[in-house]
Amino acid sequence: MDKFLITGGRPLTGTIHVSGAKNSALPCMAAAILTEGDVILENIPQVRDIDTERKLLASMGAEVELWDDGDIRRTRIRCATLSDPVAKYEIVKTMRASSLVLGPLVARTGLARVAMPGGCAIGGRPIDLHLKGLEKMGAAITTQHGYIEARADRLRGAHIVFDKITVTGTEDLLMAAVLADGETVMENCAREPEVIDLAALLTAMGARIHGAGTSTIRVQGVTSLSGARHRIFPDRIEAGTFLIAGAITAGDLIVADCNISHLGALIAKLQEVGVRVDTLGREAVRVRSTSSPLQAADISTEEYPGFPTDMQAQYMALATQADGVSIVKENIFENRFMHVQELARMGANIRVEGRTATVRGKSRLSATNVMCSDLRASASLVLAALVADGQSVLDRVYHMDRGYERIEEKLRAVGAKIARVSNVPAPQSEEALAG
Ligand SMILES: CC(=O)N[C@H]1[C@@H](OP(=O)(O)OP(=O)(O)OC[C@H]2O[C@@H](n3ccc(=O)[nH]c3=O)[C@H](O)[C@@H]2O)O[C@H](CO)[C@@H](O)[C@@H]1O
Ligand SMILES: C=C(OP(=O)(O)O)C(=O)O
């Protein structure tokens, strides 16, 4: 198990580059199931979840190539035959997004078997809304021995109203609908940019989709799709994490290769806190500290375009460095405060009651040994360690590796003192539960 050693107190300066979005690349890779043709994706992030997705598709009989061309990672996926349309528990347990293969598998092959994802560190991760939608499209769903089985000769268009907004649920049913017979209308859809990116790929493959990025999506099903080439857009959560890294270290950092229009809620909050944020064209943002201390500001996580739950933990690290009381309300996942205990061990003053955390700042953080519990909790501990007094040791950084590409190299290049030390392999029982 690798660890990070981080010595705090260095302002980050220079330019840091954002990789392709993990949460866009994963559904786009799953979309390759829908065609016999080659799907070529560019700007694939070099993160562990992508390797997991590769293994998942390969275990079903797909050919998956991943290669680097200079700094750009590409993948070519060919699902000419899918001999084993099963998402096995061993893979699903390490990556909840595995459930994204359900819709495309049943649409393409008429059969999907996907292990039930179960809960994870950030809370229950049910997929009942995916199943309800597939049933409306005519799939017969059964559950046995921990596996969900969906069968349909051909899915048919349906009117689906999501009870609750779900990102991967919207993506999964969108992928099912593109090959269904007739029109599907989905209401109360997720409006996240990742849904738009997926719809752009599907459209390039020949799908007929209107309204992706709004709460109502209409799909006219087609009988087959072709291969396509698509570039994954930048990771807004990685970009946001870097913006906070610049702000928390009182640095002067340019976050490049991002899509500023996806960062609205975070940039507005940083400005409210007192960070100077300047946009440089449409693809770079500069963050600088001002002479006055940071001021507390509340956040409440919401679906896009609200403040993202995937930035809540990182924002909380920043809130520990702001003067006053910041209220952090987590509305999306019931248990996404695992970082609080570890931040408290570094000297943060945070009280949690239900879904609300009250952060009193500014706290002087002091370095210690901390444990990463999930992907974004790990990012929040890295940020805290960057300002803590002394050397922190972050354990279980495999959580971080799920979604951040070479984070230690990227941060080191802009002045952070961070090193990865490799240790013994994680025991099987500890091998990352996703979350
Ligand atoms: C791979 C990927 O894109 N992951 C993102 C995706 O996760 P994911 O798509 O899994 O999250 P959802 O949007 O589905 O979850 C939102 C809420 O809906 C609930 N729910 C969801 C589906 C369902 O069938 N039933 C149900 O009750 C969930 O428990 C949660 O409380 O969106 C989350 C919310 O922005 C992000 O934190 C994750 O990073
Ligand atoms: C929670 C996340 O990912 P996943 O949905 O894959 O667990 C995340 O990206 O923050």
Question: Is residue 258 annotated as a catalytic residue, yes or no?
Answer: no
The tens digit of pLDDT for each residue in 11-43 reads: 999 999 999 999 999 999 999 999 999 999 999
Rounded distance from Cα 118 to ligand 2 centre (Å): 14
Are the CB atoms for 364 and 348 separated by under 8 Å? Answer: no
- From start to end of 110-227, where are the E strands? 111-115, 140-144, 147-151, 159-161, 183-187, 208-210, 217-220
For position 424, what pLDDT does the model report?
56
Q: Is 96 annotated in some ligand binding site? A: yes
H or E, element range at 198: helix 193-204
For position 185, what pLDDT does the model report?
98
Q: Give the integer Cα–Cα distance in Å for 227 and 207.
A: 11
The residues pairing with 147 across neighbouring beta strands, listed in sequence order, are 115, 144
The runs of H, that is alpha helices, within 263-364 are: 264-273, 312-319, 338-345
Structure tokens at 72: 């750009």
Are the CB atoms for 399 and 13 separated by under 8 Å? Answer: no
- From start to end of 338-416, where are the E strands? 349-353, 356-361, 369-371, 391-395
Q: Tell me, using a 6 A CB cutoff, whether residue 375 lines ligand 2.
A: yes
Q: Give the integer Cα–Cα distance in Å for 63 and 240.
A: 34
Residue 188 CB neighbours (<10 A): 16
Ligand 2 atom with least separation from CA of 23: 9
For position 184, what pLDDT does the model report?
98
Best residue among 22, 23, 48 to mutate for probing ligand 2's pocket (most ligand atoms within 8 Å of CB) is: 23
Q: Give the integer Cα–Cα distance in Å for 139 and 189.
A: 20
For position 121, what pLDDT does the model report?
86
Q: Is 138 left (phi over 0), alpha (psi -120 to 50) or beta?
A: left
Q: Tell me which DSSP letter residue 72 carries.
A: E
For position 118, what pLDDT does the model report?
76
Closest CA to 329 of 295, 298, 303: 298
Pairing of strands 217-220, 183-187: antiparallel
Ligand having the closest approach to the CA of 100: 1
Ligand having the closest approach to the CA of 170: 1
pLDDT-flagged residues of the chain (< 50): 429
Are the CB atoms for 123 and 336 separated by under 8 Å? Answer: yes
Q: Give the integer Cα–Cα distance in Å for 293 and 154.
A: 60
Query: Which of these is catalytic: 28, 79, 120, 258?
Result: 120
- Strands lying side by side in the sheet with 276-280: 13-17, 252-256, 284-288, 276-280
The tens digit of pLDDT for each residue in 225-274 reads: 999 999 999 999 999 999 999 999 999 999 999 999 999 999 999 999 99
